[in-house]
Structure 1
Amino acid sequence: MCRWMAPVASLRPDLAAIGTAHAGLPPLPSAASLRLAFLTLLLVAGTALGGCPLGVGHEPLQVLARGINCSWTLERHTRSYNHLEGDVRLRRLYSANKFFLCIDKTGKVDGTRRKNYAESLMEIRSVSVGVVAIKSVSTGLYLAMSKKGTLFGSMKYNPNCKFKERIEENGYNTYASLRWKHGGRQMFVSLNGRGKPRRGHKARRRHPSTHFLPMLPS
């Protein structure tokens, strides 16, 4: 079994001279073979510790020199919320004012106290992260908001039908128009104390009229 010896030239010049004077000594390994052995050892150790394999995007020397955490690099790319897109929930939006949001076949948005009213059953679909489209299952109309903050039912899905869904501290959800704002302020889906839709620019996030609880259909 051969024993590897460090290059004597890197230790002391006088020892290097003595080493080269004896022809009986084994030849010293070349720089290329040393580098290959080092890389092989590094790859074996990296694999055993859960490090980066070749081809991930970092050379072994770069990983060692820069201290790159390979597992974090891979994990970062898997932390995607794209799986939420297309997620569909059947819910009834129950307001803090004790009304269920509904859309009738004429496109009128209103509130009802009837728990199992057909026009209050909504299909809430995630269209992007934190953004949803709300459609009445009974009428097939989408909840939409105009530039003036008026709620209405739209036959076709369009940018007016996108709402930012946010869970508030009290556990209720708020729905703000993604497309329209008024004076830089968000405009919210809102039902007043009589169950009538309130203009988006008159609603505020803290108002109970803008708070909705998505309830499972019974």
Structure 2
Amino acid sequence: MPSRTAYSAGLLPVSATHAHTPTYAPITLLCLLLLLRISTTSGVLLGASVGHKPQGMAGHLPWAQGRQTRSYGHLEGETRLRRLYSATRFFLNIDTKGRVSGTRKNNHTDCLMEIRSVSTGVVVIRSVSTGLYLAMSKRGDLYGSVAYTAAECQFRERIEENGYNTYAARQWSLKGRPMFVSLGTRGKPRSGRKARRRHRSTHFLPMPPI
């Protein structure tokens, strides 16, 4: 019979020292694999039950298809101070006489506008310095109005695919076609009857105050 010294010194083979010790490693590993499989399957079923989409379907999600045209629905009732900078490189301006024009001066006092949302996607634009409302007549002419009227002072604000905003008269249209706020290449307002959504002159960036 081997001596106690031989055991403690590790001189005997492993098979001899552990001949009667049961081996649980394969059973333990099998249990772990079964638990992992069950938890993975449950996670997939749970994700499907709450409406989660697999990553492979990301191409079908709206935000995976590029920037979409949309309105400022979340800004209903809120007010923003902005300078409307056109794609023709002019700031929208309303002077004390009610004349609408474009200016190159980004710090001009008459170009700071108060944009207030009155309903989903509909805004009212007012000059902070002059207190005049941006308005459009039925003929498509822009002017600064002392009095507020829903028909002429409300505009549909929409973000276009290029990131710029367009402002179309809510009340007026020409044969079903929207009439837009527009500043030409010389800073003069264009008639809403001639402005089109695709024109650079109708595209504006709402920029915060300096």
Q: TM-score, normalised by structure 1?
A: 0.62
Amino acid at match of 1:189: V
Does the C-alpha gap of structure 1 residues 83 and 115 become closer, same or farther in structure 2, counting only changes over 3 Å? closer
- What do residues 10-53 of structure 1 show as CA deviations (whole Å, max 9, x unaligned)? xxxxxxxxxxxxxxxxxxxxxxxxxxxxxxxxxxxxxxxxxxxx
Q: In the alignment, what sits opposite 2:23?
A: none
User: Which ranges in structure 1 are unaligned for 5 or more consecutive residues?
Assistant: 1-80
- Give the Å deviation of 1:86: 2.1
- What do residues 78-126 of structure 1 show as CA deviations (whole Å, max 9, x unaligned)? xxx9873320000000000000001001000000000100000000000
User: Which ranges in structure 2 are unaligned for 5 or more consecutive residues?
Assistant: 1-71
Amino acid at match of 2:116: R
Q: In the alignment, what sits opposite 1:107?
A: 98
- Give the Å deviation of 1:184: 1.2
Task: Map 1:60-99 to 2 at 5 A.
Answer: 84-99=75-90
Greater RCO, 1 or 2 (C-alpha within 8 Å, sep 6+):
2
- Alignment of 1:195 onto 2:187: yes
Does the C-alpha gap of structure 1 residues 211 and 83 become closer, same or farther in structure 2, counting only changes over 3 Å? closer
Amino acid at match of 1:103: I
- Give the Å deviation of 1:157: 1.2
- What do residues 158-210 of structure 1 show as CA deviations (whole Å, max 9, x unaligned)? 12100000000010000000010011110000000000000001000000000
SS class of match (2:193): helix
Q: In the alignment, what sits opposite 2:140?
A: 149
- What do residues 52-74 of structure 1 show as CA deviations (whole Å, max 9, x unaligned)? xxxxxxxxxxxxxxxxxxxxxxx
Task: Give the Cα separation in 1 of the matches to 2:126 and 2:132.
Answer: 6
Does the C-alpha gap of structure 1 residues 165 and 83 become closer, same or farther in structure 2, counting only changes over 3 Å? closer
Does the C-alpha gap of structure 1 residues 206 and 82 become closer, same or farther in structure 2, counting only changes over 3 Å? closer
Does the C-alpha gap of structure 1 residues 215 and 82 become closer, same or farther in structure 2, counting only changes over 3 Å? closer
- Alignment of 1:185 onto 2:182: no
Larger Rg: 2
Amino acid at match of 1:170: N
Give percent identity, aligned residues only: 69
SS class of match (2:173): strand
The size of the alignment, in residue pairs, is 138
Amino acid at match of 1:192: G
SS class of match (1:213): strand
Give the root-mean-square deviation of aligned CA atoms: 1.3
Q: In the alignment, what sits opposite 2:27?
A: none
Task: Give the Cα separation in 1 of the matches to 2:137 and 2:100.
Answer: 13
Q: TM-score, normalised by structure 2?
A: 0.64
Aligned pair partner of 2:158 in 166, 171, 178: 166
